[in-house]
């Protein structure tokens, strides 16, 4: 969809509006082997900065995933007789495994470090 907008200087520019499906398709094209953000953006008549923003919003890279709140899969097993154990937390792109006696403060520090 195209909208005509007039800047303060009287210059008219065309603003294209993309559906979520169109944005997803363009982002997917930019992730293909050998594709560059600049090339894909030019082919679709958008700026590379806009395409980079869409890629980030789509979860490309660790930074976008770190800002997005989510849930982690948790599996609870009966504790062994001794006080030591293992806690495994499966994050999207990495695994956190904590062995030994774990208190809440230490676990918070480990999870905070895993988000970086």
Enumerate the domain spans of the chain: 2-63, 69-116
Contact 22, 29 (CB under 8 A): no
pTM: 0.43
Structure tokens at 97: 């495994």
Count of other CB atoms within 10 angstroms of residue 27 = 20
Query: pLDDT at position 68, please?
Result: 57
Query: pLDDT at position 38, please?
Result: 92
Query: pLDDT at position 111, please?
Result: 77
- Between 48-57 and 20-31, two packed helices, what is the crossing angle to 10 degrees? 100
Whole-number Cα distances in Å, 89 to 21, 31, 45, 101: 33, 28, 42, 16
Q: Is CATH 3.40.50 what the domain over 2-63 is classified as, yes or no?
A: no
pLDDT tens for the 116 residues of the chain, in order: 555 555 556 666 677 788 989 999 999 998 888 889 999 999 999 999 998 899 888 875 445 455 556 667 777 776 655 556 777 777 777 777 877 777 778 778 777 777 66
């Amino acid at each position: 969809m195209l909208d005509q907008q007039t800047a303060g200087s009287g210059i008219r520019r065309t603003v294209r509006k993309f559906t979520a499906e169109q944005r997803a398709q363009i982002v997917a094209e930019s992730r293909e082997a050998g594709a560059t953000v600049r090339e894909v953006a030019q082919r679709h008549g958008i700026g590379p900065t806009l395409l980079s923003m869409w890629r980030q919003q789509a979860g490309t890279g660790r930074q976008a995933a770190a800002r997005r709140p989510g849930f982690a899969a948790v599996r609870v097993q009966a504790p062994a007789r001794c006080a030591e154990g293992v806690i495994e937390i499966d994050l999207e792109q990495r695994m956190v495994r904590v062995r030994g006696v774990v208190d809440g403060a230490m676990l918070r520090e480990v999870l905070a470090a895993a988000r970086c």
